[in-house]
């Protein structure tokens, strides 16, 4: 029964980590509309894998790795900020006729490779060390609720719950967004590209402002 509680709590943590609107959510929604729900879901899977990395580091007590990530948090944030600028510009200048009837996209390959869709969001999400701190805090809360010492099996169930919760969110988001996939015309797609590009770029600006204010 305790393990069931751990899985449920892990599921909720996965949802909490995935739901907040951010650059990954925007990438998932845009790729779902521009390509199809599968491409959007695989984009979300990249974030799931990043969550798996940080959840495993926290859940299995890899303190040496956690300290290394904390020690290089500034470098990781700089890389993440630059990636946000890249994705923001790519979204903003993306052709509005990206999705065509025959799946041929102007200026790009015939289809966005699924592995590339996944890898791009994994790289973006894994360069955000704040995720590690968030999992550390939430996992500590789970320990307080369950009221038992950390065990190897407990960590497995907790991480599995996190992955299930995060995966569920991306599946639900792409399934719902996919309902509008065929209803998006060129004008709306152009607006989505511009708005998404600006917002993602602003996230990048926020990263560098945070670094500047922290260093001053």
Would you place residue 47 in the very low, low, confident or very high pLDDT band (cuts 50, 70, 90)?
very high
pLDDT at 104 over 50: no
148 within a domain of the structure (yes/no): yes
- Which secondary structure element, helix H or strand E, spans residue 164, and what is its range? helix 152-178
Angle at 24 between CA 19 and CA 30, to 5 degrees: 105
Pick from 22-36, 58-72, 78-92, 95-109: least confident? 95-109
Range of the domain at 60: 2-81+97-187
pLDDT at residue 142, as a whole number: 67
What is the pLDDT averaged over residues 181-210?
84
Give pTM, 2 decimals. Answer: 0.77
57 within a domain of the structure (yes/no): yes
pLDDT at residue 109, as a whole number: 45
109 within a domain of the structure (yes/no): yes
149 within a domain of the structure (yes/no): yes
Q: How far is CA 206 from CA 81, 84, 202, 209, 213, in A?
A: 8, 10, 6, 5, 10
Q: Is 30 exposed, middle or buried (0-12, 13-18, 19+ CB in 10 A)?
A: buried
Would you place residue 188 in the very low, low, confident or very high pLDDT band (cuts 50, 70, 90)?
confident
pLDDT at 3 over 80: no
200 within a domain of the structure (yes/no): no
Domains contained in the chain, number: 1
174 within a domain of the structure (yes/no): yes
pLDDT at 148 over 60: no
214 within a domain of the structure (yes/no): no
């Amino acid at each position: 029964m305790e393990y069931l509680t751990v899985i449920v709590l892990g599921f909720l943590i996965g949802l909490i980590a995935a739901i907040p609107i951010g650059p990954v959510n925007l990438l998932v929604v845009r790729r779902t509309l521009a390509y199809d729900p599968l491409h959007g879901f695989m984009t979300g899977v990249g974030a799931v894998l990043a969550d798996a990395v940080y959840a495993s580091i926290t859940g299995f007590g890899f303190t040496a790795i956690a300290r290394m990530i904390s020690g290089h948090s500034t470098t990781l944030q700089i890389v993440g900020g630059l990636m946000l600028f890249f994705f923001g510009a790519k979204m903003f200048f993306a052709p509005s006729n990206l999705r065509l009837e025959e799946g041929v996209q102007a200026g790009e390959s015939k289809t966005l490779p699924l592995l590339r869709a996944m890898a791009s969001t994994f790289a973006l999400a894994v360069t955000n060390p704040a995720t590690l701190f968030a999992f550390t805090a939430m996992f500590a809360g789970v320990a307080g609720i369950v009221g038992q010492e950390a065990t190897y099996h407990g960590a497995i169930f907790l991480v599995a719950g996190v992955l299930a919760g995060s995966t569920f969110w991306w599946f639900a988001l792409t399934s719902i967004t996919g309902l509008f996939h065929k209803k998006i015309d060129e004008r709306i797609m152009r607006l989505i590209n511009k708005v998404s590009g600006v917002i993602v770029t602003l996230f990048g600006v926020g990263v560098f402002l945070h670094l500047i204010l922290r260093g001053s």
